[in-house]
Amino acid sequence: MSEIEIVAFKCKKCGRVHYPYHDRCLDCKSRDFEEIAPKGDAKLLAYTQIFNLPWGFDERFLIIGVAEFENNVKAMGQIKADTIDQLKTGMKLKAGWEPIRVVAGEKVYGLKYEL
């Protein structure tokens, strides 16, 4: 798996981590942020299975989830699993930046979690 190419934003005033970007901190309303990258393994917080996929996906279904990294960055991504039965909230996942579909012959990259 390759390096994760997402950037989260940590409020310099109160420390809340935002992903994606917000113009103001959702807690203290400050506009002063520092960029941070997700670090370490991720803990699965929630997941679901999607069967009605948009154009450009060749799979019959996708399993997606929200996971929290060791530095409090929370992000949604695809989960590489054969069935949803393999998953349990709280389990550790490895994250990577990989192709998630092809649009007009070009690969589109996104966050993917691996068991």
Helix (H) or strand (E) holding 64: strand 62-69
Q: Domain for residue 87, yes or no?
A: yes
> Domain holding 61: CATH number?
2.40.50
What confidence tens digit (pLDDT) does each residue in 23-66 have? Answer: 999 999 999 999 999 998 899 999 999 999 887 777 889 999 99
pTM, two decimal places? 0.86
The HSE-up count of residue 99 (CA atoms within 13 Å, CB side) is 9
Residue 4 pLDDT class (50, 70, 90 cuts): confident
Q: Over the stretch 78-92, which tens digit does the pLDDT of each residue have? A: 999 999 999 999 999
Strands, E, within the chain: which ranges?
Answer: 8-11, 17-18, 33-36, 42-50, 62-69, 74-80, 92-103, 106-114
| Position 109 in a domain | yes
3-state secondary structure of 85: helix
Taking the alpha carbons at both ends of the chain, their separation in whole angstroms is 12
Number of domains the chain is built from? 1
For residue 27, is it within any domain?
no
Distance of CA 56 to the CA centre of its chain: 19
**Residue-number span of the structural domain to which 93 is assigned:** 38-114
pLDDT at 95: 93
| DSSP three-state, residue 6 | coil
